[in-house]
């Protein structure tokens, strides 16, 4: 998947311009950057949500259109509060007027460890359980490309680690593009990491941490990378604050 | 303190004592005043039985209920549909927003003479009064509800390639139903005020007409009997509204 000449401006503030990246198919790519740099906006542009500039060109290497092949997962679970967990998982089919294979829903519920509570309403679940239901809903869509906007940032550390492991296992083989502000999360999950920084923002060169995912971020090799990423992010944050000053 | 109120018998007997004291006071002071100013509870009860036995009260209740339900149900349907449409069509919302605020702030009773001059004294005029009393609380709450749908929710639906119809059926309407029900609960009481206002001010009929009729006969007990029936109707309608709200919007309570 290639992004060429990505461009977005709000009023007189240019968020990014001539931004390009190549996202490798079948791998997990993380875009890491400070808050407000435009990571989520870029992701939403790829998902075809919200505003986009006509100059922006997002293409898949096989030439066919992307919009039918993308699943989207956000920071909040965005489950519909009046539907049960299993109805939420089947929501995409319902919206498109397609029938849902109950066996498939059950299998997904079992995969995310919610098979005991298919009829529970989201409000009766913990934050981690809700996010697992959202993950199952994303998987139900069965799309080759999965875009994730800080999907694990609203839960506590232990739950986050478990969700990361689960997602890494269940999304293996798909093209995942995840936005995060947490370098450890990027090191744990990403085959490829890009730092997004500056104003207008640009994407840094790809970093490919060694080993299979989900990685243990306490490994010495990753520790050095973590330090390097932190240094890059903090200098980016300084640039951002200078650039943003009136 | 809490443990005392946890006991059902104590709560119940306190309720009962409160009601009993009220009844005794009504009986005592109602009997002291000139009968053209007031009536004791016993006389009111006697008059109630008389009005039931000659069929006057039932006719009045039926007339008021008919006006109430035709007017209010139309108001609920029109207001919820219009509110949902306004939430999706920006030009409709921007164009009408000011008028809605103006009319919501206007005491509807001030419109009654105008409605009477235009529509005269038939059912249409009374219907219009009840409709207007009930319409704005439902519309206002529907708009609030439909506007409170998170844009991210709509985006999720869009990312699932939902069409506009499915978006309404599966997201906008279910999300807005609890707000519509809040509007119904608020509008239910107002529409009852509208019924009595129409029956007083447009042309005498129903319970409002019965109150005027009994007052004309200097029967305060008859006036009180009619008011008591209106109170009971108000309580019943509020209770129905609350039951509907609890039953159809249980998820909203969970989410608070």
Contact pairs from chain A to chain B, CB under 8 Å: 62
The reply to whether A134 and A227 lie within a common domain is no
pLDDT beyond 50 at A15: yes
Whichever domain contains A231, its CATH number is: 3.40.50.300
Reported confidence tier of residue B255, pLDDT bands at 50, 70, 90: low
Q: Is residue A243 part of a domain?
A: no
Q: What is the largest CA-CA distance in chain B?
A: 74
Q: Which of A125, A142, A159 is the last residue of a domain?
A: A142
| Closest listed residue to residue B137, CA positions, set B199, B68, B73, B75 | B75
Q: Which of A92, A126, A142 is the last residue of a domain?
A: A142
CB nearest A49 (choices: B158, B166, B175)? B158
User: How far is residue A10 CA from its own chain's centroid?
Assistant: 23
| Closest listed residue to residue A31, CA positions, set A227, A136, A173, A22 | A22
Average pLDDT for B226-240: 91
Q: Is residue A231 part of a domain?
A: yes
Work out the minimum CA distance from A228 to partner chain B, whole angstroms: 34
The C-alpha angle with vertex B157 and arms to B138 and A64, in degrees rounded to 5, equals 155
Q: What percent of chain B has pLDDT over 90?
A: 40
Mean pLDDT score across all residues of chain B? 88
Find tokens 């009136």 and name the residue.
A246
The reply to whether A148 and A137 lie within a common domain is no
pLDDT in tens, B98-131: 888 888 888 888 888 888 888 888 889 999 999 9
CATH of B40-252, one of 1.10.3720.10, 1.10.10.10, 3.30.2020.10, 3.20.20.100: 1.10.3720.10
Cβ distance A78 to B163 less than 8 Å, yes or no, reads no
The reply to whether A127 and A10 lie within a common domain is no
Reported confidence tier of residue A27, pLDDT bands at 50, 70, 90: confident
pLDDT on residue B256: 45
Cβ distance A81 to B162 less than 8 Å, yes or no, reads no
The strand ranges marked E within chain A are 2-10, 13-22, 28-32, 57-59, 70-73, 145-149, 175-180, 192-197, 202-203
pLDDT on residue A13: 52
The reply to whether A103 and A174 lie within a common domain is no
| Closest listed residue to residue A208, CA positions, set A235, A187, A181, A223 | A187
The C-alpha angle with vertex B109 and arms to B107 and B113, in degrees rounded to 5, equals 130
pLDDT beyond 60 at B78: yes
Work out the minimum CA distance from A99 to partner chain B, whole angstroms: 14
pLDDT beyond 70 at A14: no
The reply to whether A160 and A209 lie within a common domain is yes
pLDDT on residue A11: 47
Reported confidence tier of residue A12, pLDDT bands at 50, 70, 90: low
Q: Is residue A244 part of a domain?
A: no
pLDDT beyond 90 at A112: no
B24 phi/psi in degrees, rounded to 5: -65, -45
Cβ distance A70 to B171 less than 8 Å, yes or no, reads no
pLDDT on residue B194: 94
Q: Is residue A218 part of a domain?
A: yes
The reply to whether A108 and A176 lie within a common domain is no
Work out the minimum CA distance from A74 to partner chain B, whole angstroms: 8
Cβ distance A95 to B254 less than 8 Å, yes or no, reads no
Cβ distance A74 to B152 less than 8 Å, yes or no, reads yes
Average pLDDT for A181-201: 85
pLDDT on residue A219: 82
Q: What percent of chain B has pLDDT over 70?
A: 96
Q: Are A153 and A164 in contact (CB under 8 A)?
A: no
pLDDT in tens, B40-57: 999 999 999 999 999 999
Q: Are A58 and A46 in contact (CB under 8 A)?
A: yes
By mean pLDDT, which of A49-63, B25-39, B241-255 is the weakest?
Answer: A49-63
B93 phi/psi in degrees, rounded to 5: -65, -50
Structural domains of chain A, count? 2
pLDDT on residue B163: 85
**Cβ of residue A94 closer than 8 Å to a chain B Cβ:** yes
Q: What are B's interface residues with A at a Cβ cutoff of 8 A?
A: 150, 152-153, 155-163, 166-167, 170-171, 174-175, 251-252, 254-255
Q: Which of residues 19-48 of A touch B (CB under 8 A)?
A: 44, 47-48
Q: What is the largest CA-CA distance in chain A?
A: 58
Cβ distance B161 to A96 less than 8 Å, yes or no, reads yes
The reply to whether A124 and A88 lie within a common domain is yes
Q: Which residue would you say has higher pLDDT here, A219 or B231?
A: B231
A8 phi/psi in degrees, rounded to 5: -150, 130
pLDDT on residue A19: 67
Mean pLDDT score across all residues of chain A? 80
Q: Is residue A57 part of a domain?
A: yes
The strand ranges marked E within chain B are none
Q: Nearest residue of B to residue A149 by CA position?
A: B152
The reply to whether A20 and A134 lie within a common domain is no
CB nearest B160 (choices: A50, A76, A141)? A141
The reply to whether A166 and A49 lie within a common domain is yes
The C-alpha angle with vertex B88 and arms to B85 and B91, in degrees rounded to 5, equals 90
Average pLDDT for A33-50: 79
**Cβ of residue A141 closer than 8 Å to a chain B Cβ:** yes
The reply to whether A158 and A226 lie within a common domain is yes
pLDDT beyond 60 at A6: no
pLDDT beyond 50 at A244: no
Q: Which of A88, A110, A142 is the last residue of a domain?
A: A142
pLDDT beyond 90 at B67: yes
Average pLDDT for B128-143: 92
pLDDT on residue B80: 92
The reply to whether A65 and A147 lie within a common domain is yes
Average pLDDT for A166-173: 86
pLDDT beyond 60 at A243: no
**Cβ of residue A68 closer than 8 Å to a chain B Cβ:** yes
User: Two tokens at B93?
Assistant: 């919302």
Q: Is residue A75 part of a domain?
A: no
Average pLDDT for A207-236: 82
Interface test with A, best of B159, B170, B245 (most A CBs within 10 A): B159
- A93 CB neighbour count, 10 Å cutoff: 17
B255 contacts in chain A (CB < 8 Å): 81, 123
Q: Nearest residue of A to residue B169 by CA position?
A: A95
Interface test with B, best of A66, A76, A82 (most B CBs within 10 A): A82
pLDDT beyond 80 at A3: no
Where in chain B are the domains? 1-32, 40-252
- pTM attached to this predicted model: 0.75
**Cβ of residue A120 closer than 8 Å to a chain B Cβ:** no
pLDDT on residue A54: 61
The reply to whether A84 and A61 lie within a common domain is no
CB nearest A78 (choices: B152, B161, B175)? B152
SS3 assignment, position A72: strand
Work out the minimum CA distance from B167 to partner chain A, whole angstroms: 7
CB nearest A72 (choices: B156, B166, B175)? B156
pLDDT in tens, A48-97: 776 666 656 666 667 677 777 888 888 888 889 889 999 999 998 888 88
| Domain range for A186 | 2-69+143-237
Separation CA A12–CA A30 (nearest Å): 28
């Amino acid at each position: 998947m290639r992004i060429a000449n990505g461009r977005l401006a709000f009023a007189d503030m240019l968020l990014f311009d001539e931004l390009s990246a190549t996202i490798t198919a079948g791998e997990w790519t993380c875009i890491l950057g400070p808050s407000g740099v435009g990571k989520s906006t870029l992701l939403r542009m790829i998902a075809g949500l919200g505003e986009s500039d006509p100059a922006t060109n997002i293409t898949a290497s096989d030439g066919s259109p992307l919009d039918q092949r993308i699943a989207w997962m956000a920071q909040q679970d965005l489950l519909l509060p009046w539907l049960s967990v299993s109805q939420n998982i089947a929501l995409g089919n319902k919206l498109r007027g397609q029938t849902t294979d109950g066996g498939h829903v059950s299998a997904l519920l079992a995969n995310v460890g919610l098979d005991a509570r298919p009829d529970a309403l989201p409000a009766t679940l913990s934050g981690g359980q809700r996010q697992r239901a959202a993950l199952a809903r994303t998987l139900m869509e069965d799309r080759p490309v999965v875009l994730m906007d800080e999907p694990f940032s609203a839960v506590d550390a232990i739950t986050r680690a478990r969700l990361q492991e689960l997602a890494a296992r269940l999304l293996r083989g798909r093209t995942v593009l995840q936005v995060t502000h947490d370098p450890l999360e990027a090191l744990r999950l990403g085959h490829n990491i890009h730092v997004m920084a500056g104003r207008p923002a640009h994407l840094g060169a790809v970093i490919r941490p060694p080993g299979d995912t989900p990685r243990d971020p306490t490994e010495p090799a990753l520790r050095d990378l973590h330090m390097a990423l932190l240094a890059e992010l903090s200098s980016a944050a300084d640039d951002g604050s200078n650039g943003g000053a009136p | 303190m809490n443990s005392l109120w946890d006991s059902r018998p104590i709560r119940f007997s306190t309720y009962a004592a409160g009601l009993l004291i009220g009844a005794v006071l009504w009986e005592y002071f109602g009997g002291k005043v000139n009968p053209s100013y007031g009536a004791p509870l016993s006389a009111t009860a006697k008059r109630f039985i008389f009005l039931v036995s000659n069929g006057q009260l039932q006719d009045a209740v039926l007339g008021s209920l008919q006006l109430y339900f035709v007017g209010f149900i139309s108001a609920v349907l029109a207001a919820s549909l219009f509110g949902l449409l306004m939430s999706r069509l920006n030009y409709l919302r921007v164009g009408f927003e000011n008028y809605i605020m103006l009319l919501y702030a206007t005491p509807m009773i001030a419109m009654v003479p105008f409605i009477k001059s235009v529509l005269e004294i038939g059912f249409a005029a009374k219907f219009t009064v009840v409709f207007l009393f009930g319409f704005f609380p439902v519309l206002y709450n529907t708009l609030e509800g439909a506007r409170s749908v998170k844009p991210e929710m709509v985006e999720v639906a869009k990312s699932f390639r939902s069409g506009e119809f499915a978006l309404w059926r599966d997201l906008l309407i279910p999300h807005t139903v609890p707000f519509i029900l809040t509007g119904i609960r608020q509008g239910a009481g107002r529409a009852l005020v509208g019924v009595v206002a129409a029956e007083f001010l447009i042309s005498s009929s129903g319970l409002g007409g019965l109150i005027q009729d009994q007052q004309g006969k200097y029967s305060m007990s008859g006036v009180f009997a009619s008011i008591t029936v209106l109170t009971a109707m108000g309580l019943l309608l509020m209770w129905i509204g609350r039951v509907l709200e609890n039953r159809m919007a249980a998820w909203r309570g969970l989410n608070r």
